[in-house]
Copies of this chain bind each other. A is one copy, B any other.
């Protein structure tokens, strides 16, 4: 892609706007997420790990790191804390001994399901979703953000959206 395909002004305006919008959205999601999982004595990273393992039916530390967008050491350390609480177990797989895999215990699955019940009965506290309802009323469905998906795909690779699709398929089956 040649530099000449955009002006400096366009580039600065676009990145300024994207920085402001994505920071605004993410910080609100982070706040809501923290409030949601706090009663279960989980932080956002721990809950994200449970989420990923639950919907992917077990995951490697590197998958958690990639899909959870957290450093490998963050993924490992918080998984370790969840293991100490007996919410998950570590294992190696015969066909891939270099990677550490993580699977939820029955207690881990139960706790995760409880958090999801709290989520389902507390959608009024989900600020971003509530703030999207006028768009849903207008369009008949929640916005799709395909442009955002395309950008994320270009940054994180096809893998990332494939994992998102797998977890979305799993949610469709569950609820």
Listed in ascending order, the chain A residues whose CB lies under 8 Å from chain B are 1, 3, 5-6, 8-29, 33, 67, 69, 116, 119-120, 123-124, 126-137, 141-143, 145, 147-152, 154-156, 160, 164, 167-168, 171-172, 175
Copies in the complex: 2
Residue of chain B at shortest CB distance from A124 = B3
User: Are A10 and B171 closer than 8 Å at their CB atoms?
Assistant: no
Chain A interface helix/strand/loop/mixed: helix
Q: How many angstroms between the C-alpha atoms of A11 and B117 in the bound complex?
A: 12
Q: How many angstroms between the C-alpha atoms of A175 and B7 in the bound complex?
A: 10
Q: Which of A8, A25, A69, A128: most chain B CB closer than 10 A?
A: A25
User: Are A19 and B5 closer than 8 Å at their CB atoms?
Assistant: no
Q: How many angstroms between the C-alpha atoms of A128 and B74 in the bound complex?
A: 24
User: Whole-angstrom distance from the CB of A83 to the nearest CB of chain B?
Assistant: 24
User: Are A29 and B24 closer than 8 Å at their CB atoms?
Assistant: no
User: Are A14 and B129 closer than 8 Å at their CB atoms?
Assistant: yes
User: Are A145 and B25 closer than 8 Å at their CB atoms?
Assistant: no
User: Are B172 and A13 closer than 8 Å at their CB atoms?
Assistant: yes
Q: How many angstroms between the C-alpha atoms of A12 and B8 in the bound complex?
A: 39
User: Are B24 and A160 closer than 8 Å at their CB atoms?
Assistant: yes
